Amino acid sequence: MEFLYAKIHRATVTDANLNYVGSITIDKALLKASKIKVGQKVEILDINNGERFSTYVIEGEENSGVICLNGAAARKVQKGDKVIIVAYAILNEQESETFSPSIVHVDENNKII
């Protein structure tokens, strides 16, 4: 079964770079706190326009607050949009009974609150 693994809640998009080969750049501090890994598939939920799409993670500078959608994903967001970044895990019945997802809430500058 697929379960919520981690979530970065209401992050602000700091940039959208169309001329890059896909992915989302996420501040290293947010990756550590959420336990989301470089290269991991994530779903992006744009609160402003309702878009939902998948991409993979690349690491941004630690404590920079960067949340940058790259490549084709840059067309689905605007700088300043609020997004929820979600990762899922496949867990068996036993694992699902004790697993707790990592939820990271951020402020308007993408700093952990």
Catalytic residues: 23, 56
Block residue for tokens 């959208």:
16
Provide, for the chain, the percentages of residues in helix, strand and coil under a 3-state DSSP scheme, each rounded to the nearest 5: 15, 45, 35
Question: What is residue 13's DSSP assignment?
Answer: P
Q: Kindly give the pairing relationship between strand 67-70 and strand 15-17.
A: parallel
